[in-house]
Amino acid sequence: MSTKLNHIAIVVEDIDKAVAVYRDAIGLPLSAVHEEPAEAVKVAYFPTATGEVELIQPTTADSGVAKYLAKKGEGMHHVCLEVDNIEETVQAMTAKGMEVLGLIRTNTRGDRYIFIHPKSAHGVLIELYEPAGRNG
């Protein structure tokens, strides 16, 4: 099971204000901003030498990210680990007692992903991510 850090995601209330901070004040290059309807979020991507920083803003009041933001406020949301084969990785992790949240899903770019419950990872929400075209 090969993994690497793909991104960290930070939940924000106002993506435009947050982009201004991360791009203009911190100096990270903004590569794209787009909506992900399946997750009801707007995402801004800032590539770095070793992965990405993603800012995520909920686009509906009842999404999981909106509920997280209402409960915990702005800040760290999850860590994403890129894997070579998501099915094999999930099978290996669940066999070792890790709890997944839902089923493997596919985003608008064809990437596949699933989340590991924070209870299984010492309080950290972990996304497992397989880029489009890898195996599926």
**pLDDT category of residue 135 using cuts at 50, 70 and 90:** low
Residues composing the chain? 136
Q: Spell out the domains of the chain, with CATH numbers in brackets.
A: 3-130 (3.10.180.10)
pLDDT value for 3:
84
Give, in degrees to the nearest 5, the angle at Cα 101 between 77 and 86.
95
Strand partners, 52: 7, 47
Q: Give the predicted TM-score (pTM) of the model.
A: 0.89
Evaluate whether 123 touches 51 at the Cβ level (below 8 Å): no
- Residues 10-22: tens digit of each pLDDT: 999 999 999 999 9
* Pair of tokens at residue 66: 């909106």
